[in-house]
Structure 1
Amino acid sequence: MEPIRVAVVGTGNIARLHAEALRQLGEEVRLVGAVDTDPGRLSAFCDRHDVPARHSDLASLLEKERPELVHVCTPPGSHHELALGCLRAGANVLVEKPPTLNLGQLDELAEAEQRYGATLSTVFQHRFGTGALRLRALLDAGVLGRPMMAVCHTTWFRPQSYFDVEWRGRWDTEGGGPTMGHGIHQMDLLCAILGDWAEVSALARQQARRSETEDLSMAHVSFANGAVASVVNSLLSIREESYLRFDFERATVELTHLYGYGDDDWRITPAPEYSEEVLAAWRTGAAGVRSGHRAQFAEVVRSLRAGTPPPVTSAETRRTMRLVAGVYASAFARRPVRPDELGEDSPFYRRMQGDRPRW
């Protein structure tokens, strides 16, 4: 079969990771073109990754290269416009997180999918490591029993110089702080395991950094299945860690990593009376795949060949994005928030900060 024709928009550091992961897919894909407004950066990227076509604008790339899949790797503020342009041209889109600045923009892209017959998916690669796949399989099979409690902590560190970059720490270009741009990966995996959320009660703070957005948020989340979770997103934590813990009736499952995990980063502690059954199922589950971009990209290519929706769909993305919006809505309205309160009439539908942050 012919390789899937792939293009990249934005050729910064995250695009490098995309290109390296695509190369690992071998003959499955062909990187046919790239776009960047910086000629020097574009040239360096294309030289390094053997990309034949170089363009200064998206319209030119779409017209001349006819990619089947476009990876959007630009800063968040441009995601909506670029993804919409791809969908209108009939090109499938894989967009880096966060996919848009707000729920309204995401819904517009979902409508464009239906209108133009192309697909939108979001880079949430933590879903695709075999540790997460194994956990989901055991939960679905009933091996672990009912989920009861979870911990989802993204405690990272960024100095003031990180926020001093022009487009960072701003609502109009990033859509939020660590809740939106950093912890969203762990929050997505939390939702992928526990499903729909029912209520969130949160706070957000400007503890130490000079920026428009928060540098810290904390939330209590209730899920439709009865589980509850503690969610922390910080850019002030000198000892950096990404930590998820799931307490089920029959076992505790933990993941400790930073920016990506392997099988050895997971731990399972079964209840004594279920030890043999739980450990046997865990040991025979999926194994050997890290949670990097390659794992998700392979699934995207497989879905394009099969004509099925690619992971992660716009609907799945919306559940995570709505939780992010819920954290901000609760923090700034200073009350618990339900998903049904974040519709088109909510000030948090078009702006994650709502009417204005109330620090």
Structure 2
Amino acid sequence: MHEPDQTAPEAPDRLRVAVVGTGNIARFHVEALQSMPESASLVAAVDVDPDNLALFTDRYGIPQRYGDLDRMLCEVRPDLVHLCTPPGMHHGQVLACLRSGASAVVEKPPALSLAEMEEMAAAEGPIGQGPWVATVFQHRFGSGARRVRALAESGELGRPLVAVCHTHWFRDQAYFDVPWRGRWDTEGGGPTMGHGIHQMDLLLALLGDWTEVSATARRQARVMETEDVSIGHICFANGAVAAVVNSVLSPREESYIRIDFERATVELRHLYGYGDDDWTITPAPGFEERVKAAWEAGESGVNSGHAAQVAHVLSALRAKEAPPVSATDALRTMRLVAGIYASAAQHRTVTVGELRRGTRYYERMHGGGSPW
């Protein structure tokens, strides 16, 4: 299905953007894009459900409708495509966008395996030219996280020592009765892959490279192929250690990160997004004034929603630069997910170096078998 564009020509300095998938998550993308009209123009939407597509495009004033991604890419030739589709579709859709010359922004998880993720990275265009693929890990872009990262990199907080990273969410059985959810072949995993990945990505953005993980994963209460809870112990290259919980069984929902540095404890409590007030810093004795002054002088005023990352993506693409978070950058987080699954299934510690091409957990998050 296609309806011709009746609008006036777009300004040449704005990126022409299309959205694929018109479910709930797509509205966050569209509203973020429409808050930046000087940088982007929404020119098309794609969905296989014509009724949903019509409602969505009418609501947001998107001029062109398509039921087929390839046809849209051929006829519209967008600069950027936001992929808001189920995880099992991401790999093929990203490759289709890149082949057409369009950069892609893809929702989490960006792929079902490390193999798919590396294939996507390899399909990007040359440095300084593109096209590129970026994964939506918006929690990196709130001012609170950027402030912590700046203070950590400057040495103001001292060495990171101990961390906690908890995703305690609640999803009932009806949520997983949706045909593509809770399955290895369409979602790639349970809460480790589809829910806690946001918090784990933020933890890695603040602490850097991880080296090894020891984990447990199991089905406690939901009927599904994948796990409904996982717990991991992670060691980092800088010497820090962290405990990670990913759960969809928790009636009192909370997302929580705590990092104990030498000179301060930094905490973040929120649910699906944070603002500056959701962060707390507790200086160590003797560092009260110094840490407080550095904290108050840091970046502020930006929440962690989609708009924060979309602004950086649009700015980078208009400058002909790779947008954040690149496929290569997202691989570090995806390797941690794979490491948790590999460790839990094999009942042993797994190092990051083991998750390489040709190995079971590189090709599939569940290793090709039934791990639980």
- Shorter-chain TM-score bucket reads over 0.9
| Contact preservation (8 Å) 2:134, 2:327 | yes
Q: Does 1:118 align with 2:127?
A: no
1:114 deviates by 3.9
Mark the runs of 5 or more structure 2 residues left unpaired by the alignment: 1-11
- Tell me if structure 1 keeps the 8 A contact 2:130–2:322: no
- 2:161 is aligned to 148
Partner of 2:113: 102
- Flag the structure with higher helix content: 1
Counterpart residue number, 1:2: 13
The amino acid that maps onto 1:224 is A
Q: Distance in 2 between matches of 1:19 and 1:9?
A: 11
Deviation of 1:2 (Å) = 2.0
Find the residue that maps to 1:26 and give its secondary structure. Answer: coil
What runs of 5+ residues in structure 1 fail to find an aligned partner? none
Residue 262 of structure 1 is matched in structure 2 by 275
In the alignment, structure 1 residue 236 sits paired with structure 2 residue 249: yes
The secondary structure found in structure 2 opposite 1:31 is strand
- How far did 1:84 drift? 0.4
SS at match of 2:185: helix
The aligned residue for residue 357 of structure 1 is 370
1:166-198 deviations in Å (ceiling 9; x for gaps): 111100000000000000000000000111100
Aligned to 1:79: 90
Q: TM-score, normalised by structure 2?
A: 0.95
Q: 2:34 aligns with which of 23, 27, 30?
A: 23
Note the 1:146-225 alignment, pairs <5 A: 146-225=159-238
Give, in whole Å, the separation in 2 of the partners of 1:8 and 1:266. Answer: 33
Given residue 266 of structure 1, which amino acid in structure 2 is its aligned partner?
A: W
Structure 1 residues 55-113: Cα deviation after superposition (integer angstroms, max 9, x where no partner): 11111111111111100000000000000000001100000000000000001111111
Q: Distance in 2 between matches of 1:113 and 1:308?
A: 12
Q: Tell me the distance in 1 between the aligned counterparts of 2:297 and 2:55.
A: 44
- Mapped to 1, the partners of 2:237 and 2:132 lie a distance apart of 28
What TM-score, normalized to structure 1? 0.99
Alignment pair present for 1:91 and 2:102: yes
Aligned counterparts of 2:73 and 2:177: Cα–Cα separation in 1:
34
Paired residue for 2:51?
A: 40
| Corresponding letter in the other structure for 1:300 | V
Task: Select which of 71, 75, 86 maps to 1:64.
Answer: 75
Per the TM alignment, residue 139 of structure 1 is displaced from its structure 2 partner at its CA by 0.6
Aligned to 2:313: 300
Looking at structure 2, the residues matched to 337 and 352 of structure 1 have their Cα atoms a distance apart, in angstroms, of 13
Report deviation, 1:345: 2.1
Q: Which residue number corresponds to residue 311 of structure 1?
A: 324
Amino acid in structure 2 at the alignment position of 1:74:
T
CA distance in 2, matches of 1:180, 1:239: 21
Letter in 2 for 1:82: Q
Give 1:105's aligned amino acid. Answer: E
Q: Is 1:286–2:299 an aligned residue pair?
A: yes
4+ long deviations beyond 6 Å: none
Letter in 1 for 2:243: S
* Letter matched to residue 62 of structure 1: L
Superposition deviation, residue 350 in structure 1: 1.4
CA distance in 1, matches of 2:122, 2:156: 38
Once the two structures are aligned, what percentage of the paired residues are identical? 62
Shift of 1:118: 1.0
The question of whether the paired residues in 1 share the 8 Å contact of 2:130 and 2:320 is answered with: no
Distance 1:127 1:86 in 2: 25
Summarize deviations over 1:118-144 as a string: whole Å, max 9, x none: 101100000000000000010111100
Q: Cα offset for 1:26?
A: 2.4
Say what the alpha-carbon RMSD is for the aligned residues: 1.0
Per-residue CA deviations over 1:14-42 (Å, capped at 9, x if unaligned) read 11111111111122110000110000011
